Amino acid sequence: MARKKQKLYGKKATTEDIALEIQNLLYAKSNRPYPLKPSEIAKSLGLCNKTVYNYISKLSKSGNVIRLKSGRFFLPRSDEQEFREFNKRHEITSDPLVSEWMDDLITRRQGLPLKSWKTRLRSFEIVCNTCKVTPYDFTISNKKTEKIMRSFAKCFQNGTIVQSNLRSKPKGMNQTLYPKVQAVRDFCSFYDITWRRGISWVMSQKVMGHGKYYIYCSI
C-alpha cells in the first residue's frame, strides 16, 4: 500500500495505519470488547462503506482477512440481538437502522433538518439503554415495541431510567414519556410500523393537560 497521508481520528495517518485500525475493529483487538461490522467501522472512522471494503479486500490479499471461495469475506460477528450500551464509543448513529433514520430526520423539511432531530436521537438512545434493547427490536412488530415502552414506563416509575450526558432530572411522567414515545414512533414509522391516532395507552401522543405548554426535557 502506498504511504498516502490521510486522517484517522483527526490525526494524519498512512493507509497502513488505517488498514491496521480497520483490522483491529473487525476483530475486537485493542480496547474494543466486541467486533464492529464494516458499516459501523465506516461511521466510526468517517469513511464510506466502499472504502472500508476496499481496505478489507487489501487485508485479505495480505492474509489478515479470510476470503471465501464465493468471494465473500469471513468476518467475525457479534450477536445481532445482543444489547450493547450506546455511548460516546458506541454511538447510536453507528447502527445502520438509526443512520438511515437520521438521514431522513436531517433532510425531512424540504432538504432541511427537523428542529428536534437531535432530541429524537437522544430520546431513542435513552429508551434503548434503559430497556437494554437494540434498534432492530423496534422493527419486529407493534406488540414488541409496545412491550418495550411499557417496560420504559415502569423504569420511570422505579427511578431506573438511564440518563443521557445532560443529566437533567425528569419533571414528570408525561414530560418524560411523551418525547420518548414520539422518538420511538418516528423511528418505527420510518420502517412502516405505525399506530392509529387517538390511542390512549403507552404509545399515545396525547398531551396531558391540553392547552398547557410544556418544555420537554431530555433526561
Q: What is the model's pLDDT at position 211?
A: 41
Closest by Cα among 184, 86, 174 to 132: 86
Domain extent listing, the chain: 6-74, 92-190
- Joined together, the cell numbers standing for residue 151 give 417496560
pLDDT reading at 210 higher than 60: no
Distance CA 167, CA 116 (A): 19
Closest by Cα among 37, 1, 34 to 20: 1
Percent of the chain with pLDDT over 90: 29
Q: What is the model's pLDDT at position 166?
A: 44
**Cβ-Cβ contacts under 8 Å for 110 (sequence gap 6 or more):** none
**Cβ-Cβ contacts under 8 Å for 72 (sequence gap 6 or more):** none
- Confidence band, pLDDT 50/70/90 cuts, at residue 106: very high
pLDDT tens-digit series, residues 107-136: 988 889 999 999 999 999 999 999 999 888
**Cβ(55)–Cβ(2) below 8 Å:** no
Q: What is the model's pLDDT at position 140?
A: 81
Lowest mean pLDDT among 68-77, 93-102, 188-197: 68-77
pLDDT tens-digit series, residues 145-180: 999 999 999 998 898 888 765 445 555 555 678 899
pLDDT tens-digit series, residues 22-79: 988 888 776 666 677 788 788 888 888 889 999 998 998 888 787 766 677 777 655 5
Percent of the chain with pLDDT over 70: 78
Q: What region does 102 belong to: left with phi over 0, alpha with psi -120 to 50, or beta?
A: alpha
Q: What is the model's pLDDT at position 219?
A: 39
Fold held by 6-74: Arc Repressor Mutant, subunit A (1.10.10)
pLDDT reading at 82 higher than 60: yes
Distance CA 86, CA 79 (A): 15
pLDDT reading at 201 higher than 50: yes
Q: What is the model's pLDDT at position 167?
A: 47
Segment 132-145 shows an average pLDDT of 88
Segment 73-97 shows an average pLDDT of 76
- Measured in whole angstroms, the distance separating CA 89 from the mean position of its chain's CA atoms is 12
**Cβ(170)–Cβ(156) below 8 Å:** yes
- Write 51-58 long-range contacts (CB < 8 A, 24+): 52/22, 55/15, 55/18, 55/19, 55/22, 56/22, 56/26, 58/1, 58/19
